[in-house]
Amino acid sequence: MIGKPLRAALFCFLLAFSAAANAQTLALVGGRVYASPDAAPLADAVVVATDGIVTAIGSRSEVQIPPGARVIDCSGKTVVAGFWNSHVHFTQAAWKNAAGAPAAALEESMREMLTKWGFTTVWDLGSDPGESLPLRGRINAGEVAGPTILLAGNMYPEGGHPIYVPREVQLPEVATPEESAKWARDFLAMGHNGIKLFTGAFMGDKPVVNMDTAVAKGAVDVAHAQGKPVFAHPQNRTGVETVIAAGVDVMAHTVPSQPDGYTGEQLARFKAQGIALTPTLSLFTTVVLDPAVTARIVAATVNQLKQFSDNGGVVLFGTDVGFIKLYDTTLEYELMHRALSERQVLATLTTNPASYFKAARKGRIEKGYDADFAVLDGDPITDVRNLAKVAYTIRAGRVIYQKP
């Protein structure tokens, strides 16, 4: 029989053990850390996070590992801030019945598409809110391991149901500024974080259907009044001009149909208005069968990315994954690297989106910032392809992917 003093000591031990377990403290130990894309690497470093926030960063000799912390040995690895993918879609069959589907099945699909590649924050630029809203809710509640999800409600020009979207899918087509303004208000009231406009809709062998500038501006004005960003899918030069004239924030793609690149006037307006670009270069390798045509398209879009970046524009990483099934991000990094340095590519994943979307505690590894990390098997500054070699993805101090 256990005596009272021993019982009391045992109770105190269990209480202390429980407190340590619930403290949710994580220590990444021994890795090379890039606190930001432009920072010098910190060798043999320690990063400590408690309750989802970075509490210490420094060399192993400077930072004490808290008792009871979960320690991840990062020797030989590189630690960077968690990645943003600013163009994804939760539209595939895997996300059906997101409210009631088994968490394990959703997590498996999430790993395959996103968390395996280091993504801790994503912009969903078009999906069924009946699926994406409950999916986001289950992730935020801790039921499903996944990234922070930001949602953009979609609008299309009248008669602009794109050829690649099944006809049975009901899409909001808007013909007047009043209609686009109402849809914008409805989407934001529903819990969306922004709006996406198809300023140009691809119709196959028929002419592109473009959105009228006044219609686009009706949605932009509503979103901006609530401090929300507006993305646009331009299909041709007219769609790009609408982006500029309507005051859209982010172009969701480069535009292969403008093969000579952006004009000087367009570049000047992009810079003056602070318009950002998500180039989605690898997308264009999946939609054309002729390798020669693909090569010309890729060359044109890489050129647009270089023009845009050299002009001082903000570039955001995005792949259109979910619409395409090219989950591996290696090709996107390789293509972007034709126009950007390794550090610039890393910035498109971290500091650029965090700054552009005013996520004040994301994008860097600093004390007081969110504990969102990608732990890589190699140094991305020596080889950009190492950005796709992810050993751990950590969101808010919790491991949401671990390489087997």
Tell me the pLDDT tens digit for each residue of 247-295. 999 999 999 999 999 999 999 999 999 999 999 999 999 988 899 999 9
pTM of the model: 0.93
Stretch 294-307: mean pLDDT, rounded?
Answer: 97
Q: Long-range contacts: 142-145, Cβ < 8 Å, 24+?
A: 143/103, 144/103, 144/106, 144/107, 144/110, 145/107, 145/110, 145/115, 145/398, 145/400, 145/401
- What's the average model confidence in pLDDT over 131-138? 98
Strand 70-73 to strand 25-33: parallel, antiparallel, or no bridges (unpaired)? parallel
Q: Picking from 23-32, 74-83, 377-386, which range would have the lowest pLDDT averaged per residue?
A: 23-32
pLDDT at position 19 = 34
Beta bridge partners of 56: 48
Checking if the pLDDT of 52 tops 70, the result is yes
Does residue 8 register a pLDDT over 90?
no
Average pLDDT in the 63-90 region? 97
For position 266, what pLDDT does the model report? 98
* Main-chain dihedrals φ then ψ at residue 217, nearest 5 degrees: -65, -30
Residue 226 has pLDDT above 50, yes or no: yes
Q: Is the distance from CB of 109 to CB of 94 less than 8 angstroms?
A: yes
Q: How confident is the model at residue 203 (pLDDT cuts 50, 70, 90)?
A: very high
Q: Give the pLDDT mean for 10-15.
A: 34
Minimal CA–CA distance to 37: which of 241, 342, 335, 286? 342
Higher-scoring residue by pLDDT: 194, 13: 194
Residue 315 has pLDDT above 90, yes or no: yes
Average pLDDT (380-388) is 98
The reported pLDDT for the residue numbered 7 is: 37
pLDDT recorded at residue 1: 35
- Find the mean pLDDT for residues 39-54: 97
- Scanning 311-381, the segments in alpha helix (DSSP H) are 330-336, 342-349, 351-356
In the chain, count of helices (H) and strands (E)?
Answer: 11, 18
The whole-number average pLDDT for the span 221-243 is 98
pLDDT given for residue 393 in this prediction = 98
Strand 42-50 relative to strand 78-81, pairing = unpaired
Q: How confident is the model at residue 177 (pLDDT cuts 50, 70, 90)?
A: very high
- Residue 396 near residue 361, CB atoms below 8 Å: no
pLDDT at 11 > cutoff 50: no
Q: Pick the closest to residue 120 from 370, 387, 348 (CA basis).
A: 370
Is the per-residue pLDDT at 16 higher than 60?
Answer: no
Q: What is the mean pLDDT of residues 177-202?
A: 98
Cα 343 from Cα 333, distance rounded (Å):
11
Q: Which of 404, 403, 402, 400 is nearest to 148 (CA)?
A: 400
pLDDT of residue 167: 86
Mean pLDDT of 332-360: 98
pLDDT at 287 (0 to 100)? 87
Whether 10 has a pLDDT exceeding 50, the answer reads: no
Cα–Cα distance, 353 to 339 (Å, whole number) = 18
Walk me through the domains of the chain, giving residue ranges and CATH numbers: 26-80+366-402 (2.30.40.10), 83-356 (3.20.20.140)
CA distances from residue 30 to 58, 60, 330, 350 in whole angstroms, order as listed: 10, 7, 26, 22
Question: Which DSSP string do the residues of 54-107 spell out, in sequence order?
Answer: EEEEEETTT-PPPTTPEEEE-TT-EEEEPEEEEEE---SGGGTTTTTS-HHHHH
